[in-house]
Amino acid sequence: MNPDVSLASVVYWRRSLWNGTRCVPVLMTLDQGWLRARDRAGAEVFAVPAGQVQGRLSRLGTLLLTVAGRRYAIVGRGSDVSPSPSADQRRARDEFWAHRPEPGGDGPGFLDAVFNGAASFHTRSWRDALARAGAAVR
């Protein structure tokens, strides 16, 4: 487990497979060994030590997390009818990165960037960061 792993971004919690308006933005942060998620209103969706998180990345790029016995389907971007991130979510993300270097590394592949808005790259980045922080993800 590496508590020095940090990551923050707005991802989408796919609460319904068929209803795009129920694919909602959450600000997910990984800092000091804790994974947290907050919805558009600022309410906590979950806050748990990373070592208590389980999950896997699906073939279609959905990060399926199990947190405290509940499953969350996390995707890198919402649908055309999904709500946009709130100003508070964007501000909190920017504040998170204000005094930290943003992670480097290779960016998304061409097809993922052009046709998928880098959504697969986004969820892979989360899977990799969670694994480095001690979560049981594959």
Domains in the chain, please, with CATH?
Answer: 7-137 (2.30.29)
Torsion of CA 85, 90, 91, 95, to 10 degrees: 140
- Report yes or no on whether pTM surpasses 0.95: no
What is the arrangement of strands in the sheet containing 34-38, beginning at the earlier edge strand?
Answer: 44-49, 34-38, 23-31, 7-14, 70-75, 63-67, 54-57, 136-137
What length is written for the chain? 138
Q: Which residue has the higher pLDDT, 2 or 28?
A: 28
Q: Which residue has the higher pLDDT, 42 or 115?
A: 42
Residue 8: what residue type? A
Q: What is the mean pLDDT of the chain?
A: 89
CA distance 34 to 16: 26
What percentage of the chain has pLDDT greater than the value 70? Answer: 86
pLDDT in tens, 29-67: 999 999 999 999 999 999 999 999 999 999 989 999 999
Contacts of 126 (CB under 8 A, 6+ apart): 7, 9, 11, 28, 30, 63, 74
The pLDDT value recorded for residue 106 is 66
> Taking 50 as the threshold, does the pLDDT of residue 93 lie above it?
yes
